[in-house]
């Protein structure tokens, strides 16, 4: 009910301040971004992974020792990952052109491979978006703690604060958050390129030096095996995560969407490769060591610029910022993807509602909640989160590119110039279909292999959880879908025309005590013009006696039925009574009228029994029984809206005497 908070006066101003003024639905298409902002919004995830990818490779290799030969492997692994990145980029470029309305793995899979593949890809991606937020925020906080060790004990609290701020920013809407996030992204790129340039210059002039005084992580505990090298490779390939963000978010780009998105993708991949290789190269030269207390990036910065210098601090700040902002990619994509699932009836419908600021508020809040839980459980440690991470991304890469292969094979069967309407897009003959399908196939194969490496080498350190989770999610998605189908069938109108049928109505007024609110209840019941009676549930004999007495004295009209309730329950006796009425009136509606004392604040409301909820719960399972709530205003304001009869409701005058 996020979009409802605008109604009352106080929440409106707070909500305005935090989230901005509501936007009309027609404003939807204006909320698009150009390439430069698009790079900031969608590339921060991919670019930020350079902040930890090198380190994660070193963490694994160091298990076999910290000699130059062993850690030197990191450079070769980084090159292999760069090649993989190029393949995936070319392959995804094709997807962007084929699906100008957004070509995430979910859509491509749904279009070409069917519902099950689509749900698997979607489950994998949704899981990974949540992990992206947790990993990026945790790693960003770790960078800050590298520069200011005093903050180390507050990592979890800091991470949660970041998530809260990011949630508020995103509830304001994508364009404004794009502008906000452009600054840190370009700040990161500036400081990072400067670091690499100065570092390479000092390397060639022989003034770079080596890292000393690092408290190294677990090291030299096992031999260097192929398995270990593959583990290091898969850890490093976390650098690829986030590359799919642009293809999911094509619709957020200005026209021509596909072209702008594709160019942005190429920029992003190029920058990513340069930074990743540069960091890995320099890290090897300075003999950086993986450590729990200082990140490799911070070690590099200290050596290049000198400890405590402004440039060092700017570089650490830039890295921290890009990491903290990287989570924003997920804030852009998770709600969009969740809305797609929900639109197809595989997730709760509420996820498709756009809030006051045109964003999918429920999706944003869901993402923030789950990521926060993950940060708390994993205590904001990046290395603990990495094994959970990336497996889902590579699974979705594989599915998406396999879908493209299927699509291109179909296109290959068309005659030149022929067009076929697919589920999502129009397929036109393409003379290059063979080359393109081979590219996609290579991409699918490579990412599939990496996924398997990931699943096997990280299985015991956490990947098992994701491998278990994804099928569970897919099962849940199909259960939800089944439910919506069932409801749709139940609600279907089969016949050509329906006559509206009237039935007799029996009115039952539920009363507790007899007071000013009761009068209004009975007024309404009598105004309805159907046979009516008052019913009192006798929980407390003294109360019952008094209710009967006041009823007879002050009202003296209609029948007051008392249902005894020796076990002091409200719902069971009334349910039994109403069922009996249904039996006696097999063709009538039973109209239950309940009073509700409406207070002017939630706190005051909590001081009352609010039995309306109880009665609704008790009776909502009965067909032909409708419950009416008659509110009676107990409010502080002097100006009442629409009082039926001012002479009767003397309550305001009373208040003026006895009030504070």
Q: How far is the CB of 559 from its own copies (least distance, A)?
A: 13
**Segment 451 to 480, residues that bind its own copies, using CB under 8 A:** 480
Q: How far is the CB of 571 from its own copies (least distance, A)?
A: 5
Q: How far is the CB of 654 from its own copies (least distance, A)?
A: 5
Closest alpha carbon to 390 in 131, 61, 159, 133:
131
Angle subtended by helix axes 115-147 and 50-61, to nearest 10: 90
| Kind plus residue range of the DSSP H or E element containing 419 | strand 419-421
Closest alpha carbon to 473 in 332, 327, 337, 331:
337
Q: Select the residue interacting with its own copies from 267, 384, 484, 548 (CB under 8 A).
A: 484
- φ, ψ of residue 633 to 5 degrees: the values are -80, 120
Choose between 17 and 501: whose C-beta lies nearer to its own copies: 501
Choose between 379 and 608: whose C-beta lies nearer to its own copies: 608
Q: Which stretch binds its own copies (CB under 8 A): 103-111, 352-360, 420-428, 453-461?
A: 352-360
Q: Select the residue interacting with its own copies from 110, 155, 284, 354 (CB under 8 A).
A: 354
Tokens 């039994």 belong to: 576
Q: How far is CA 427 from CA 89, 286, 432, 617, in A?
A: 22, 52, 13, 52
By CB under 8 A, is residue 604 in contact with its own copies?
A: yes
Choose between 310 and 492: whose C-beta lies nearer to its own copies: 492
CA 238, CA 49: separation in Å to the nearest integer? 7
Q: Select the residue interacting with its own copies from 20, 22, 422, 462 (CB under 8 A).
A: 22
Q: Select the residue interacting with its own copies from 17, 26, 69, 221 (CB under 8 A).
A: 26
3-state SS string over 441-484?
HHHHHHHHHHHHHHHHHCHHHHHHHHHHHHHHHHHHHHHHHHHH
Q: Which two tokens stand for residue 92?
A: 């995804």
By CB under 8 A, is residue 526 in contact with its own copies?
A: yes
Q: Quick one: how far is CA 75 from the chain centroid?
A: 36
Choose between 161 and 487: whose C-beta lies nearer to its own copies: 487
By CB under 8 A, is residue 486 in contact with its own copies?
A: yes
By CB under 8 A, is residue 623 in contact with its own copies?
A: yes
By CB under 8 A, is residue 11 in contact with its own copies?
A: no
Choose between 393 and 474: whose C-beta lies nearer to its own copies: 474
Diameter of the chain by CA atoms?
104
**Segment 529 to 588, residues that bind its own copies, using CB under 8 A:** 529-530, 539-541, 550, 553-558, 566-572, 575, 579, 582-583, 586-587
By CB under 8 A, is residue 645 in contact with its own copies?
A: yes
Q: Select the residue interacting with its own copies from 311, 469, 560, 622 (CB under 8 A).
A: 622
Q: Select the residue interacting with its own copies from 123, 229, 522, 535 (CB under 8 A).
A: 522
Q: Select the residue interacting with its own copies from 11, 72, 209, 631 (CB under 8 A).
A: 631
Q: Select the residue interacting with its own copies from 184, 236, 355, 443 (CB under 8 A).
A: 355
Pair 562, 538: CB distance under 8 Å: yes
Choose between 379 and 413: whose C-beta lies nearer to its own copies: 379
Q: Select the residue interacting with its own copies from 254, 259, 381, 515 (CB under 8 A).
A: 515
By CB under 8 A, is residue 376 in contact with its own copies?
A: no
Pair 316, 298: CB distance under 8 Å: yes
CA 507, CA 513: separation in Å to the nearest integer? 19
Q: Which stretch binds its own copies (CB under 8 A): 307-315, 383-391, 461-469, 522-530?
A: 522-530
Q: Select the residue interacting with its own copies from 29, 542, 638, 660 (CB under 8 A).
A: 660
By CB under 8 A, is residue 363 in contact with its own copies?
A: no
Q: How far is CA 234 from CA 123, 125, 192, 452, 469, in A?
A: 21, 18, 24, 9, 20
Choose between 413 and 608: whose C-beta lies nearer to its own copies: 608
By CB under 8 A, is residue 204 in contact with its own copies?
A: no
Query: Phi-psi category of 414—alpha, beta or left, where left has phi over 0 and alpha has psi -120 to 50?
Result: beta
User: Is residue 257 helix, strand or coil?
Assistant: helix
| Calculated CA dihedral for residues 488, 489, 490, 496, nearest 10 degrees | 100
């Amino acid at each position: 009910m996020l979009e409802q908070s605008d109604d009352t006066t106080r929440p409106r101003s707070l909500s305005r301040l935090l989230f901005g003024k509501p936007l009309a639905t027609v404003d939807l298409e204006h909320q698009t971004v150009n390439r430069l902002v698009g790079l900031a919004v969608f590339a921060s995830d991919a670019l930020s992974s350079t902040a930890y990818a090198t380190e994660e490779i070193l963490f694994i290799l160091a298990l076999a020792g910290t000699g130059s030969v062993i850690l030197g492997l990191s450079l070769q692994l980084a090159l292999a990952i760069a090649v993989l990145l190029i393949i995936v980029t070319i392959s995804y470029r094709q997807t962007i052109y084929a699906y100008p309305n957004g070509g995430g793995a979910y859509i491509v899979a749904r279009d070409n491979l069917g519902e099950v593949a689509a749900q698997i890809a979607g489950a994998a991606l949704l899981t990974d978006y949540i992990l992206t937020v947790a990993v990026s925020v945790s790693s960003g906080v770790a960078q800050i703690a590298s520069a200011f060790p005093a903050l180390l004990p507050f990592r979890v609290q800091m991470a949660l604060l970041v998530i809260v701020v990011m949630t508020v920013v995103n509830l304001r809407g994508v364009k404004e958050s794009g502008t906000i996030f452009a600054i840190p992204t370009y700040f990161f790129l500036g400081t990072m390129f400067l670091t690499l340039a100065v570092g390479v210059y000092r390397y060639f002039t022989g003034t770079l030096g080596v890292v000393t005084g690092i408290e190294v992580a677990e090291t030299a505990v096992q031999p260097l095996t192929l398995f270990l090298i593959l583990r290091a490779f898969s850890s490093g390939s976390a650098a690829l995560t986030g590359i799919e963000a642009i293809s999911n978010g094509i619709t957020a780009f200005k026209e021509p969407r596909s072209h702008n998105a594709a160019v942005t993708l190429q920029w992003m991949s190029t920058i990513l490769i340069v930074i990743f290789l540069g960091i890995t190269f320099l890290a090897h030269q300075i003999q950086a060591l993986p450590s729990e207390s200082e990140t490799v990036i911070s070690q590099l910065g200290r050596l290049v610029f000198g400890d405590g210098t402004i440039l060092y601090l700017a570089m650490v700040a830039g890295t921290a910022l890009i990491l903290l902002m990287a989570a924003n990619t997920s804030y852009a994509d998770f709600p969009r993807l969740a809305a797609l699932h929900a639109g197809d009836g595989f997730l709760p419908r509420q996820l498709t509602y756009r809030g006051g600021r045109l964003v999918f508020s429920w999706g944003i809040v869901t993402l923030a909640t789950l990521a926060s839980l993950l940060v708390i459980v994993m205590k904001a440690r990046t290395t603990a989160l990495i094994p959970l991470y990336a497996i889902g991304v590579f699974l979705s890469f594989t599915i998406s590119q396999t879908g493209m292969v299927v699509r291109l094979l179909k296109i290959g069967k068309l005659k030149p110039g022929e067009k076929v309407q697919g589920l999502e897009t129009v397929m036109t003959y393409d003379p290059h279909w063979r080359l393109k399908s081979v590219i996609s196939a290579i991409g699918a194969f490579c990412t599939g292999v990496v996924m398997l490496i990931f699943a096997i080498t990280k299985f015991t350190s956490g990947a098992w959880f994701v491998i278990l989770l994804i099928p569970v999610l897919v099962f849940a998605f199909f259960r939800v879908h089944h439910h919506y189908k069932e409801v749709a069938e139940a609600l279907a109108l089969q016949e050509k025309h329906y006559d509206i049928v009237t039935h007799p109505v029996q009115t039952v007024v539920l009363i507790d005590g007899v007071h000013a609110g009761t009068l209004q209840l009975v007024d309404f019941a009598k105004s309805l013009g159907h046979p009516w009676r008052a019913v009192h549930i006798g929980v407390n004999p003294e109360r019952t006696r008094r209710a009967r007495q006041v009823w007879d004295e002050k009202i003296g009209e209609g029948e007051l039925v008392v249902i005894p309730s020796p076990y002091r329950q409200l719902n069971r006796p009334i349910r039994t009574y109403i069922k009996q009425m249904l039996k006696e009136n097999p063709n009538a509606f039973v109209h239950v009228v309940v009073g509700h004392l409406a207070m002017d604040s939630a706190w005051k409301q909590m001081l009352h029994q609010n039995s309306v909820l109880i009665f609704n719960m008790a009776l909502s399972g009965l067909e032909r029984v409708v419950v009416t709530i008659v509110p009676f205003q107990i409010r502080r304001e002097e100006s009442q809206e629409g009082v039926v009869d001012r002479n009767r409701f003397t309550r305001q005058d009373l208040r003026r005497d006895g009030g504070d």
